[in-house]
A and B are shown apart, each in its own frame.
Chain A
Amino acid sequence: GAVVSQHPSRVICKSGTSVKIECRSLDFQATTMFWYRQFPKQSLMLMATSNEGSKATYEQGVEKDKFLINHASLTLSTLTVTSAHPEDSSFYICSALGLAPKRRGEQFFGPGTRLTVL
């Protein structure tokens, strides 16, 4: 149980284009999902908290107009990188919390999406 998928797993795009990454909880409902970014040989940095039916909460320094988050259902959150540039190349990871998490703080992680902007 508690499987989270991400699509696509890998994407290469040209500078200036927009890229959408999907995060799905496959066998449970998630009111809250988190989006992380991980640069090579670095740790995971939280970008934003995505709440179903409401606006996302962005961490300091993360441009909300550049990284659009939509959490339209209890099983899907999307991250759109708008007008992507080479510096946006990174590994993007989502995680999800269950509706009634049995264990506080436990997040279920997706497999990640590797974005390369040329």
Chain B
Amino acid sequence: AQKVTQAQTEISVVEKEDVTLDCVYETRDTTYYLFWYKQPPSGELVFLIRRNSFDEQNEISGRYSWNFQKSTSSFNFTITASQVVDSAVYFCALSDRERNNAGNMLTFGGGTRLMVKP
């Protein structure tokens, strides 16, 4: 069963619009970690954020912000005032101990392709 769901496969916005990418996850582990990665057309994954399950504080980094809600098992990502350079595929990922005891394996969501038009 898919454990990380990114329901939006593609989103298209106009530059300067705000956009939120949704991520819903499923795990039975009490300690887990959530990640967001950006994959530009070059293909290389760019790490954006890591959040552990005990830290529900929202985080802001420049134009990026993340909303973690355990009650709804969601870890959504918002880009404020989007720019053309934000165009990429964004992946949400989960690491927990269901796959191995070390908890170091990542399960990726299907990805959301964001297109920011000028």
- Give me the interface of A with B, judged by CB distance under 8 Å: 32, 34, 41-46, 49, 91, 93, 95, 97, 101, 103-107, 109-112, 114
Q: How distant is the Cα of A41 from the Cα of B108 in the complex, in angstroms?
A: 14
A18 to B47, CA, bound (A): 32
Which of A43, A101, A110 lies in contact with B111, CB distance below 8 A?
A43
**Are B110 and A105 closer than 8 Å at their CB atoms?**
no
**Does any Cβ of A come within 8 Å of B62's Cβ?**
no
Residues of the B chain whose Cβ atoms lie less than 8 Å from the Cβ of A105: 33, 35, 50, 95, 103-106
| Number of residues of chain B lying within 8 A (CB) of chain A | 22
- A106 to B106 alpha-carbon distance, docked (Å): 9
Residues on the B chain within 8 Å of A41, using CB: 113
Which residue of B has the minimal Cβ distance to A32? Answer: B104
Residues of A within 8 A of B100 (CB): 49
B43 touches A112 (CB 8 A): yes
List 18 A–B pairs whose Cβ atoms lie within 8 Å, in order of A's numbering.
Answer: A34-B105, A34-B106, A43-B109, A45-B108, A97-B104, A101-B104, A103-B33, A105-B50, A105-B95, A105-B103, A105-B106, A106-B50, A107-B104, A111-B42, A111-B43, A111-B44, A112-B44, A114-B43
Task: Verify if B14 is at the interface (C-beta below 8 Å from A).
Answer: no
